[in-house]
Amino acid sequence: MESPDHDALLRRHGLQVTAQRLAVLRAVAERPHSTADDIDKVVRSEIGAISRQAVYDALGALTEKSLIRRIQPAGSPARYEGRVGDNHHHLICRACSRMVDVDCAVGYTPCLTAADDSGYEIDEAEVIYWGRCSECVASSPVPQP
Ligand SMILES: [Zn+2]
Ligand SMILES: [Zn+2]
């Protein structure tokens, strides 16, 4: 199924519309917080003839144009999502690596107001809350060291 929205989105950002980019964009939109490997698997199962490098290139181009967002949690592979521009944050489970969205605690952009910005022009505050998800807590009440 083709997505006319994604076609227009690519064009509006000056990107050539290709089957690869459309497939990557769709995969990211449908599976938020997937790793590049996950996206690679999904896209390959959909359109087959695509190299891993092409998938990574598409992810890079889409990220650069802010059509998707790349989240880089410490010590784990980057994740990609289609929810961009709303300054939301993330919760990550240390046990199973599940990642979920959490709306900005303060509001739309107030958390971008650093106590001391050292003269930087800030455009994003990436907050990651680390812990254990409810399922992991339920299955193992004592945290693993
Ligand atoms: Zn978990
Ligand atoms: Zn998210």
Q: From ligand 1's centre to the CA of 139, what distance in Å?
A: 9
User: Which ligand has the shortest distance to the CA of 70?
Assistant: 2
Predicted TM-score of the model (pTM): 0.82
> b or e along 36-73 (b: 16 or more beta carbons within 10 Å of the residue's beta carbon)?
bebbbebbbeeeeebeeebbeebbebbbeeebbbbbeb
Structure tokens at 112: 């971008």
At 86 the pLDDT is 80
Q: Which residues surround ligand 1, an ion (CB under 5 A)?
A: 93, 95-96, 98, 133, 136
Q: How many whole angstroms separate alpha carbon 129 and alpha carbon 75? A: 14
Q: What is the pLDDT of residues 11-41, one digit of tens each?
A: 999 999 999 999 999 999 999 999 999 999 9
Q: Which of 1-15, 42-56, 82-96 bottoms out in mean pLDDT, i.e. has the lowest?
A: 1-15
CA atoms within 13 A on the CB side of 104: 16
110 pLDDT tier (thresholds 50, 70, 90): low
